[in-house]
């Protein structure tokens, strides 16, 4: 009996010591509202950085779309999405691989800013501690703003300001529906998915994901039925504007054309037509994954749509204007 008690005592002591070690090795988030540089990619999160975009300087369509795609319950949870986590665990166990991620936007911000790029139990524990701290000291809009300025959109392209300039020669506030969808599509696997831009042609997988995002924007009452139909009509005209001049194009002396076809802009408060019969985009045969590296990445955009009827779903308007 004494020996058993000693074993339990030692085991408990080791557990406590382990969690104290994890806690002591977790970075502080105290300086998150000051000028800081991210741990891995050395991205500067600072208002004085010309590549930093305030939330009010980002297209509302992009803001809505990134939340819908990456963390639909972002404005209602306290840092962790329990339902999504359960689904991810179940999916990954059944697939016997990482087929679905469960990280919220706050968790992604925590690991992108403060933690090294590796996968381990220790890093996940520290990520959880950082997530709790971030939710305590930042508002949801502050979290979203910093997230949009730190995530990767392609090789060496970090933050929405750099991405909008590189892919479409625009500021983030000027992005239209399809351009916003393309950038959000890149997020789960930016290096691989950027092949569509390099080839100046969307893969079937990219087209499906982009239209799926537009459809979900309609179902969440963020665009009209007409906007969704227009996106379907224009998606094959990638990159959707003759004015697009990338940084590489500029180096090669390619000048922009004068005419710029754009998507119709409709105020976000307009109601979609609910009399129309709307069907989600059918996936192509290779929808599973046409990434050249063949890897499965966290937070894939799913085709799960919240309502089962044709009635659009409304969500709060949380963004600063």
Q: How confident is the model at residue 164 (pLDDT cuts 50, 70, 90)?
A: very high
What span, in angstroms and rounded, lies between the C-alpha atoms of 23 and 43? 25
* Kind and range of the H or E run holding 215: helix 204-219
Query: What's the chain's Rg over C-alpha atoms?
Result: 21
Six token digits for residue 155:
């090789």
Show me where the domains of the chain are located.
2-251
Using CA atoms, how far apart are residues 164 and 150, in angstroms rounded to an integer?
14
Q: What is the pLDDT at residue 123?
A: 75
Residue whose C-alpha is closest to residue 282's, from 237, 215, 225, 191: 215
According to CATH, the superfamily of the domain at 2-251 is Biosynthetic peptidoglycan transglycosylase-like (1.10.3810.10)
List pLDDT tens digits, range 134-158: 999 999 999 999 999 999 999 999 9
pLDDT for the residue 114: 85
pLDDT of 1 reads 63
Give the pLDDT confidence of 258-293 residue by residue, as tens digits.
333 334 333 333 333 433 444 555 544 444 455 444
Contact by Cβ (8 Å): 144, 53: no
Q: Which residue has the higher pLDDT, 31 or 127?
A: 127
pLDDT of 247 higher than 90: no
């Amino acid at each position: 009996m004494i020996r058993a008690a000693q074993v339990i005592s030692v085991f408990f002591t080791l557990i406590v010591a382990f969690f104290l070690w994890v806690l002591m090795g977790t970075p502080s988030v105290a300086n998150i509202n000051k000028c800081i540089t991210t741990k891995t990619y050395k991205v500067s999160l600072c208002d004085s950085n010309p590549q930093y975009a305030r939330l009010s300087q980002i297209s509302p369509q992009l803001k809505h779309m990134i939340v819908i795609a990456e963390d639909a319950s972002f404005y209602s949870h306290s840092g962790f999405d329990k339902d999504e986590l359960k689904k991810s665990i179940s999916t990954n166990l059944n697939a016997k691989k990482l087929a679905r991620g469960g990280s919220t936007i706050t968790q992604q911000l925590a690991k992108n800013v403060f933690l090294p790029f590796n996968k381990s139990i220790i890093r996940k524990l520290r990520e959880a501690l950082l997530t709790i701290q971030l939710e305590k000291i930042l508002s949801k809009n502050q979290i979203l703003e910093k997230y949009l300025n730190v995530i990767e959109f392609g090789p060496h392209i970090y933050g929405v300001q750099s991405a909008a300039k590189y892919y479409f020669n625009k500021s983030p506030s000027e992005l239209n529906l399809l351009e916003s969808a393309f950038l959000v599509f890149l997020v789960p696997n930016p290096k691989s998915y950027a092949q569509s831009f390099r080839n100046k042609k969307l893969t079937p997988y990219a087209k499906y994901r982009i239209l799926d995002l537009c459809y979900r924007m309609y179902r969440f009452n963020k665009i009209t039925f007409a906007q969704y139909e227009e996106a379907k009509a224009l998606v094959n005209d990638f990159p959707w504007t003759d004015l697009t001049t990338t940084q590489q194009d500029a180096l090669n002396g390619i000048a922009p054309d004068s005419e710029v076809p754009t998507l119709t802009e409709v105020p976000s408060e307009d109601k979609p037509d609910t009399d129309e019969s709307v069907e989600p985009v059918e996936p192509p045969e290779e929808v599973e994954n046409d990434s050249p590296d063949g890897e499965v990445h966290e937070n894939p955009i799913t085709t799960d749509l919240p309502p089962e009827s044709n009635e659009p779903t409304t969500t709060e308007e949380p963004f600063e204007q």
